[in-house]
Amino acid sequence: MLKTIQTANTTLFQSIFRSCCDPTLPKIARFLSFTGDGWFYLLLFPLVLILKPVYAFETLLLAALGFTIERLIYYILKLGFKRRRPPTFLANVESLIIASDELSLPSGHTSAAFFFVTFLCVALGPLFLPLYLWAAMVGLSRILLGVHFPTDIIAGAAIGSIIALVIA
């Protein structure tokens, strides 16, 4: 069963990664990946202060706790699974960026992005539902850049979303 999943995962990765024939797509993927680096999440502070001024302290405290738990679980899983990134697993793949480490599962960019969006939706309202498209594009960009398999993205999205739902 695991071999079947890995084969499907590899096939889907190669299909998505090889679709980068448009020269602007890698640039867009780099930008989207960059928005998932962490600085974008600082927007939470003014959003909470504007939309929930009475509960700003509690909301921001929950967000900080949630991000801390998300990062902790992400690191524990990454070190536990020790799955290598596509370029070290597949001989014919060279990533378009240099990843921060050698491990792939789960995707930290995707986990943080989905935590952020889910937390915004639960804590501040459904106005932020369209940001799920951004979070999904952050995940997709990590595949297009050659640093994650599709299951890394799925795992990251699930981890971030579940933590936000539990925390918020």
Residue 35 lies in a domain: no
Decide if 89 is inside a domain.
Answer: yes
Query: Does residue 21 belong to any structural domain of this protein?
Result: no
Residue of higher predicted confidence among 132 and 9: 132
Which pLDDT score, from 0 to 100, does residue 9 have? 82
Is residue 100, in this structure, part of any structural domain at all?
Answer: yes
Tokens 């998932």 locate to: 36
CA distance 48 to 40: 14
Q: Per the domain annotation, does 147 fall within a domain?
A: yes
- Angle subtended at Cα 134 by Cα 66 and Cα 42, rounded to the nearest 5 degrees: 45
Domain ranges, residue 69: 41-167
Q: With 0-12 CB in 10 A as exposed, 13-18 as middle and 19+ as buried, what is 138?
A: buried
Question: Please, which residues have CB within 8 angstroms of residue 96's CB and are 6 or more apart in sequence?
Answer: 20, 26, 29, 30, 144, 145, 146
Q: What is the CATH number of the domain that holds 75?
A: 1.20.144.10
What is the model's pLDDT at position 5? 78
Asked if residue 23 is part of any domain, the answer here is: no
Residue with tokens 């509690």: 58
How far is Cα 5 from Cα 12, in angstroms, rounded to an integer?
Answer: 10
pLDDT for 72 equals 96
Is 149 among the domain residues? yes
Model's pTM, two decimal places?
0.91
Tokens encoding 60 = 């921001």
Matching residue, tokens 């789960």: 106
Count structural domains, the chain: 1
In a domain, 97, yes or no: yes
> Which residues are within 8 A (CB) of 20 and not within 5 positions of it... i.e. 6 or more apart?
26, 29, 96, 144
Average pLDDT over all residues of the chain: 89
**Segment 2-9 mean pLDDT:** 80
